[in-house]
Structure 1
Amino acid sequence: MPYHKNKRQAFEAAQQAYTQLQEAFLHLHEEDADYGHHHKMAEQELDEAIQVIRKAQVTASEHQKKQLDMYSREVERYKQQLME
């Protein structure tokens, strides 16, 4: 049972990290006076999401892996946006 609990917790942490990354990007507007601060926060959320998703992929079920792969692809898109 602990293995399944850890698997679920890892997946939920990845979901949460992805959601937080999305929220950070909602506040990212170049014309905003706090753009630098929001950009830095988005970078931090991006780094965390990458780490948490990778960690969750180790123990994920097949269904979870498909969702985590989608998160990974989306995270890469966010990463490209930050680098522009």
Structure 2
Amino acid sequence: MPYHKNKQQAFQAAQQGHKQALDANAQANLVQGQSSYGQELKHVKEEVNEAYAQIENALEVASDSQHKQLTQFQQDLKGLVDSVNNEQ
């Protein structure tokens, strides 16, 4: 049972990291063109890097259904990074 608990905790951490990265990006988009935009982009980068690490950890113990969702999280983050890079 502890294995299942760790699997679930790892997935939830990755899920939360994904959400925080998307939220940080949404906040950066709100202040685009303002003086705080650079700081917000830095925050987005930090959140994305942390989310990637959490996803990688979760993938090591993920069930098949979790694996599919985690892979989608990675694709979402890649799209977010590509979008930010194209704006600069």
TM-score range, shorter chain: over 0.9
Cα distance between partner residues in 2 of 1:59 and 1:82: 30
Match of 1:76 in 2: 78
Match of 2:33 in 1: 31
Q: Secondary structure at the match of 1:59?
A: coil
Match of 2:7 in 1: 7
Identical amino acids, percent of aligned pairs: 36
Cα distance between partner residues in 2 of 1:46 and 1:37: 14
Match of 1:53 in 2: 55
Cα distance between partner residues in 1 of 2:10 and 2:55: 8
CA contact (8 A) 1:11 1:56 kept: yes
**Structure 2 length normalisation: TM-score?**
0.90
**Pairwise CA distance, 1:83:** 1.9
Q: Which runs of 4+ in 1 moved over 4 A?
A: none
Cα distance between partner residues in 2 of 1:23 and 1:62: 27
Cα distance between partner residues in 2 of 1:16 and 1:23: 10
CA contact (8 A) 1:43 1:82 kept: no
**Pairwise CA distance, 1:28:** 1.1
Query: Once structures 1 and 2 are overlaid, which stretch shifts more, 39-48 or 25-34?
Result: 25-34
Q: Secondary structure at the match of 1:70?
A: helix
**Structure 1 length normalisation: TM-score?**
0.94
Cα distance between partner residues in 1 of 2:20 and 2:34: 20
